[in-house]
A = this chain, B = another copy of it.
């Protein structure tokens, strides 16, 4: 079934005319009268509609059933642009609630103030498109924080605040997750050059647990997706 994200107020109408890019997209799909279409407000509500000559007629409004019970935030220190876009797309498919990016000491790439607004729009669009394709009920928020310290402060509020570090060997992700139930998780990973020891120390002080992702060194774009997949598995999503 075709799925489109619309503004929440559109979802409250009984007969809906899609506009803008959605209208174009619907044309491309060549939908015929009688076919069903799912409209989502990107905040967890959706409406099952049927296409008629008058527009999309709402048959049923409901909560989206495709969201994970666990709320996972991906905290990724700025990697190069193509890698960040990759992580946004894949983390959205895998069910992340939000993707948060921020500078750290060894970042080789960080967007300047000027270009940031445009980039954020682009990233949010990537998330929306991946959310549509994968059947998400929400569009994950893409956030940019000004400092590593801000990321720690925000991330540490989750039930499980976990930082993955290649020099950690004792604490596995499994140990960290099995030490008590959780509904919210923050997964923090470093940029291409890794995190500095002092940063890892700072994170521990802020309330993060330091974990390993195993004996192999994962690239900066692979680590968050590996951790996210494992958390969703652990939480009973699949």
A222 touches B94 (CB 8 A): yes
B226 touches A94 (CB 8 A): yes
A48 at interface (Cβ–Cβ under 8 A)? no
A135 to chain B, nearest CB (A): 5
> Using Cβ atoms and an 8 Å threshold, which residues of chain B touch A93?
216-219, 222
A65 at interface (Cβ–Cβ under 8 A)? yes
**Stretch of A17-25, A28-36, A111-119, A207-215 with 4 or more beta carbons under 8 angstroms from chain B:** A207-215
Contact of A234 among B212, B233, B236 (CB under 8 A): B233
* Bound Cα distance A5, B238 (Å): 37
> Using Cβ atoms and an 8 Å threshold, which residues of chain B touch A66?
215-216
* Bound Cα distance A90, B216 (Å): 12
| A134-151 vs B, Cβ < 8 Å mask (1 yes, 0 no) | 111000000000000000
A216 touches B94 (CB 8 A): yes
* Bound Cα distance A178, B80 (Å): 39
A158 at interface (Cβ–Cβ under 8 A)? no
A134 touches B218 (CB 8 A): yes
> Using Cβ atoms and an 8 Å threshold, which residues of chain B touch A65?
215
A221 to chain B, nearest CB (A): 9
* Bound Cα distance A188, B13 (Å): 43
B217 touches A135 (CB 8 A): yes
* Bound Cα distance A227, B238 (Å): 9
A172 at interface (Cβ–Cβ under 8 A)? yes
| A175-214 vs B, Cβ < 8 Å mask (1 yes, 0 no) | 0000000000000000000000000000000000001111
A95 at interface (Cβ–Cβ under 8 A)? yes
A230 at interface (Cβ–Cβ under 8 A)? yes
A interface, CB within 8 angstroms of B: 65-68, 90, 93-95, 133-136, 172-174, 211-219, 222, 225-227, 229-230, 232-234, 236-238
Further 18 A-B residue pairs, CB within 8 A, beyond A134-B219, A135-B216, A233-B233: A66-B215, A68-B214, A93-B218, A94-B216, A94-B218, A95-B216, A134-B216, A135-B215, A135-B217, A172-B238, A173-B238, A212-B238, A214-B237, A227-B229, A229-B230, A230-B232, A230-B233, A230-B238
